[in-house]
Structure 1
Amino acid sequence: MTDVTAEPPPAAEPVLLTTDDDGVRTLTLNRPFRKNAINAELWGALNDALTDAGKDPDVRALVVTGAGGAFCSGADVAAGDIARAKSHPLPRMRNLTDVAQLLHELPKPSIAKVDGVAVGAGWNLALGCDFVVATPGARFSQIFARRGLSLDLGGSWLLPKLVGLQQAKRLVLLADMVSAEEARDLNLVTWIVSAEEIDTFVADLGKRLAAGPPIALAQSKLLLNEGANSTMREALANEARAQVINFATEDAPEAAVAFTEKRDARFTGKWGVPPR
């Protein structure tokens, strides 16, 4: 059960904060008094926010983080919440699975900015992002077994692909807490950055991603996500189709012009095929 660390915020304060900065949208889980454990309201807010980010052409990159010195302590399994739930658990589980699917299929690069704990569904929420940036004090656990549960939010698919089957079983069946350094050694953290520098580091990373060619990045992300389950023949066919999509934008010609003019390319993702 999630520890209470502070007084609950005023009822009017949103459970998910959204900010935009030059094409980078940041979603901040905002239940610090529960270490940002995700309740039904927050699952719904994440679903809506990820759907909107995927469709908004002004969003070029996404950052997911948590308020109050924690990333996310997982799904809120407080006994009172369970006792009050009157619906069948399967529809409630779909709230989780929809969020995991939306994040995985998001056609924009995504970054998890992790400080403090990221456990259970919270860790798998971070792993669902394309990059994980953590502070040295970040701590991670597939805590499900300690709660009498099996893993969820895509962990059974993500972990074996990232660390191999044997290490995935160790993390899940023992439910140990691991440090940021060990998580990086297991390829579960991309960068470790000091708490004083992580905001600047993630902001710069987000701007680099937002400045990239949006259609091409979306195609590459999809190809990489699907590549592990494809044959070489299927992967090559998918790559060929993706390049045709890229050739139909203004970005590839812009990159060529920028190269000859010795300047940075200005990518827009706009359709570049002239009307007939």
Structure 2
Amino acid sequence: MQFKHVTVDFDGPVTILKLDHPEVMNAVSMEMLGGLSEALDAIDDRKAEVRCLVITGAGRAFCTGANLQGRGNAKPGGRNNAGAALETAYHPFLRRLRNLHCPIVTSVNGPAAGAGMSIALMGDMILCARSSYFLQAFRRIGLVPDCGSTWLLPRLVGKARAVELSLMGERLPAEKALEWGLVNRVYDDAALMDETMKLAHELANGPTVALSLIRRLYWESPGNSFEEQLDLEQQLQREAGSAADFKEGVTAFLEKRPAKFKGK
């Protein structure tokens, strides 16, 4: 399926969403954000079939941040609301990813800068090509980090490293990102997509009702007290336990066979 600067392909229960504007290294424009919204609509329409989402980039980049040519740069004597597009386009997209019904694997095949870094970090599993890198590029153009990076980064790598990445604007290579605990796995460039699809299919063939609830638990955990999190675990465990996948999982365990989960 083709949308504006975005393609969506279906590989059984795995859906691949590709940022597809390689001429500008997949920099995000308003047109691409519109395409992303339409792509998520298409995925929602096939919710029962889509059990894992892979996000990657076309060409040699994952996403190099906002397309500045389309950002409405400030003009001499004029004013520029650099945050307007965040409220109207970026934030709705990020919220939809956060609330997606299935696991997300981001396959970082090249540079992930600015907003592109934030999109990459929305993955429940973040896989990287060895040549890829991350960059908090905002300070280079006199802006502050956005797209949730100031929420995500301190929780992933700690305040000191998050602030350093943002203040210094230096590249963070994939291997160092792995060492810091920012990403899950690093592969040779040629092996990245094969390994991504292998992992995505493993997730897609799992108990996706429970996997979706696991996503929710970890997204809500940072804002909850210990008691609130215990209550949420109880609530979601009850929900998971009422799914057919739980019955199948227990039956398969007792019968000493692999479980055949249906995501129901």
TM surpasses 0.5: yes
Q: Name the residue aligned to 2:140.
A: 146
What's the CA shift for 1:146? 0.2
Specify the SS of the correspondent of 1:73: coil
Specify the SS of the correspondent of 2:189: coil
1:30 counterpart (20, 23, 28): 20
Q: Name the residue aligned to 2:36.
A: 46
1:93 equivalent in alignment to 2:51: no
| Whole-Å separation in 1 of the counterparts to 2:54 and 2:133 | 19
What's the CA shift for 1:131? 1.4
Q: Name the residue aligned to 2:62.
A: 71
Q: Name the residue aligned to 2:151.
A: 157
Distance 1:13 1:265, change over 3 A: closer
What's the CA shift for 1:91? 4.3
1:181 equivalent in alignment to 2:175: yes
2:191 counterpart (197, 201, 208): 197
Could you list the per-position Cα deviations for residues 80-111 of structure 1 after superposition, in whole angstroms to 9, with x for gaps in the alignment? 65269999655422201111111122121111
Specify the SS of the correspondent of 1:207: helix
Instruction: For 2:100, give the aligned amino acid.
Output: L
| Whole-Å separation in 2 of the counterparts to 1:235 and 1:112 | 27
| Whole-Å separation in 1 of the counterparts to 2:212 and 2:145 | 28
Q: Name the residue aligned to 1:211.
A: 205
| Whole-Å separation in 2 of the counterparts to 1:136 and 1:92 | 32
Tell me, yes or no, if the aligned pair for 1:140 and 1:179 is still in contact at 8 Å: yes
Specify the SS of the correspondent of 1:72: coil
- Which aligned pairs between 1:227-266 and structure 2 lie closer than 5 A? 227-266=221-260
Instruction: For 1:141, give the aligned amino acid.
Output: L
Q: Name the residue aligned to 2:162.
A: 168
**TM-score normalised by L of structure 2:** 0.91
Tell me, yes or no, if the aligned pair for 1:142 and 1:151 is still in contact at 8 Å: yes
1:59 equivalent in alignment to 2:53: no
Identity level (%): 33
| Whole-Å separation in 2 of the counterparts to 1:96 and 1:13 | 17
Structure 2, unmatched stretches of 5+, are none
Instruction: For 2:198, give the aligned amino acid.
Output: D
Could you list the per-position Cα deviations for residues 63-91 of structure 1 after superposition, in whole angstroms to 9, with x for gaps in the alignment? 1100011100001112x652699996554
**TM-score normalised by L of structure 1:** 0.88
Specify the SS of the correspondent of 1:253: helix
RMSD of aligned Cα (Å): 2.1
Distance 1:255 1:13, change over 3 A: closer
What's the CA shift for 1:189? 1.6
Specify the SS of the correspondent of 2:28: coil
| Whole-Å separation in 2 of the counterparts to 1:165 and 1:97 | 23
Q: Where has structure 1 moved over 4 Å in runs of 4 or more?
A: 83-91
Instruction: For 1:42, give the aligned amino acid.
Output: M
| Whole-Å separation in 2 of the counterparts to 1:126 and 1:237 | 30
Could you list the per-position Cα deviations for residues 201-255 of structure 1 after superposition, in whole angstroms to 9, with x for gaps in the alignment? 0011000100111211111110111112211111111011101111221111111
What's the CA shift for 1:44? 1.4
Specify the SS of the correspondent of 1:113: strand
| Whole-Å separation in 1 of the counterparts to 2:93 and 2:181 | 23
| Whole-Å separation in 1 of the counterparts to 2:73 and 2:227 | 51
